[in-house]
Chain A
Amino acid sequence: MNSNVAPMIRFVNVNKWYGRDHHVLKNINLEVRQGEVVVVCGPSGSGKSTLIRTINQLEPINDGEIWVDGVRANDPRTDINKLREEVGFVFQHFNLYPHLSVLDNITLAPIQVKKVPKDLAERTAMELLERVGLANKKDAYPANLSGGQQQRVAIARGLAMNPHVMLFDEPTSALDPEMIGEVLAVMKQLAESGMTMMVVTHEMGFAREVADRVIFLDHGEIVEDAKPDDFFTNPQTERARQFLRQILAPLHQ
C-alpha cells in the first residue's frame, strides 16, 4: 500500500447531532486507504450506522469534512449524485426494488444513471450474478429469494456501478444464521479482489479474518483503531474489553 496516495475516505473533525442534545458523532477523525478493509463495530446506539451513512451523505453532518476519493462529500457544490455513483452501499434490509426482477434491479442504475447501453448492462449484471452465485435467479423477483440471496443480489447491484468503495451497513444482521456464511463469503472474495471496504458488522470472525483494521465506536467516539489481532487479543480500553466479552461470550460475563 502506498501511503503517498490520498486516502479513499477521510473524516476530519466530523460532528453530528440529532436535534440539539443528542451528539451522535463526536469529533471523528478517520482515514481509509485504497484497498483497505475496515470493520466498524461497537455497541448498539454507538453511531456506527450513522457514521457509515455520512460517507455518501444519506445522513448529513453538522460540522467537519468528509472526503471520498479526493472529493468533499459535504460540500454543497459537490454533485452528490455523482459521488454516490462511486460509492456502493449495502443495507441491512437489502432494499431491493420489489417491483423489478433480479436482473432489472442490477441494471436499473447503470442504464438510467450511467447511461450504459442495455445489452452491455445486462452482460455485466450476468457476470456479477455469476460471481455471487445467483445467475439462475436473474428472472426471479426479490420476494421469491431468501434473505441471503437478496443480500447477494444487493451486493451485485452495488458492484454494477463499478464503485471505488463499498460500504456495508450491518449486511448480515437481518439474516437467518445459516445464510450469514454465503454473504460473508461474497464479501471476503470482494475484499481479496482489492476493493476498498468499510463494514459495520458484529461478525467478529469476518473482522479477524478479512479486515485490515478494526474501529471500535462507543457513544459516538472512536475509542480504538487497531489491527484485528491487536484489537481482539489486546484491547486498550475497558469499554472495548467489555464489548468483546459481551459479543464473544454472551453467557459468561
Chain B
Amino acid sequence: MTINLDWGIFLQESPTGDGPYWTMLATGLQWTLATALTGWAIALLVGSIVGVLRTVPYRPLALLGDAYVEVFRNIPLLVQLFFWFFVWPELLPAEIGRWMKQDMPYPEFITAALGLGWFTAARVAEQVKSGILSLPRGQKNAALALGFSLPQTYRLVILPQAFRVVIPPLTSEFMNIFKNSAAALAIGLTELTFQMKQMVEYSNEVIVSIAAATVLYMMLAFAVNRGMAWLEKKARVPGMIGGGR
C-alpha cells in the first residue's frame, strides 16, 4: 500500500473561493489566536479575582468563589459553549436575546472567547488559590502589622509572591486554552480545527491537512511555553523559589 501525499495542495485554489488552501488555514489560525488570547485575558482577570475571593476572611465571598469554581470546572467545555450559544440568549429578556442572535457582531467568536475564558478562569482560580495558600501565614501578618489594609496586603505582598509560585501551572493552562479553543468549532467558529476539517472535505488530503494543523498547534504551544519560561526567569527572585534543583 502506498500513501500519496500531495504537499503542494496548500498552494492550490480551494473551491470555497477564499483563495488557496493555505489561506484557509491561516484564517483558522487567526481565529484560534484571537479566541485563545481573548479567553486567556478573561481567564487571568476573572480567575485571579475568584482565586483571591476564596482566600479572604469573609465567608460569603469565599463561598461565592468556591461555587464559581465548582460550576465552571465540573461541566464539560463543549456543554458550556452550547449553553452560552444556544440557551443563554433564550433566558435573557427577549430584546437582548434577539440582539444576541441577530445583530451581535462575530457571535461565534465572542461566545467562544467568553465561554473559554470563564471555563479557564475556574482553573486559574484554583491555581491562584493554591499559590496564596502556599505562602507562610506570617507574610500576611507582617503586612497587616505594618498597617496595610487587606487589599494592599494582597496587592503588594501576597499576590506578587503567589503569582511567582504558580507560573508553571499557569503555563499549562495557557497552553490548554489554545488546544481547548478547538471546541469552538462546535458552535461554528472558523478556527484552526474547523478550517482543517473544511480542507479535508474539499481537498481529500486527510493526512496533509491534519499534519498541517498539528504542526501549527504545536508551534503555538511551543511559543507559549517559551514565552512563559522567559517570564518565569525574569520574575525570579534570588533565593526565593526554584532553588530545589
Q: Which residues of A contact B (CB under 8 A)?
A: 56, 58, 81-82, 84-85, 87-89, 91, 93, 95-99, 108-109, 112-114, 141-144, 157-158, 161
Contacts and interface: CB of A to CB of B under 8 A. Distances in A.
Q: Is the interface of B mostly helix, strand, loop or mixed?
A: helix
A186 B153 CA distance: 28
10 contacts: A81-B144, A81-B149, A88-B145, A96-B142, A97-B139, A97-B161, A108-B146, A112-B156, A142-B239, A161-B147
B240 A99 contact: yes
Given A81-B148, A96-B142, A98-B239, 19 more contacts: A58-B145, A82-B147, A84-B145, A87-B145, A95-B139, A99-B237, A99-B240, A108-B146, A109-B148, A112-B156, A113-B147, A113-B148, A113-B152, A141-B240, A143-B238, A143-B239, A143-B240, A144-B238, A158-B146
A98 B160 CA distance: 10
A109 B146 contact: yes
B94 to A, nearest CB: 48
B156 A108 contact: yes
A250 B161 CA distance: 41
A143 B136 CA distance: 14
A91 B144 CA distance: 12
A113 B145 contact: no
A140 to B, nearest CB: 8
Interface in B162-209: 164
A93 to B, nearest CB: 5
A111 to B, nearest CB: 10
Contacts, number: 75
Q: Which of A89, A98, A108, A112 gathers most chain B CB within 10 Å? A: A98
A93 B244 CA distance: 21
A113 B146 contact: yes
Contacts of A108: 146, 156-157
A108 B158 CA distance: 13
A89 B145 contact: yes
Contacts of A143: 237-240
A58 B157 contact: no
Nearest to A167: B145
A101 to B, nearest CB: 9
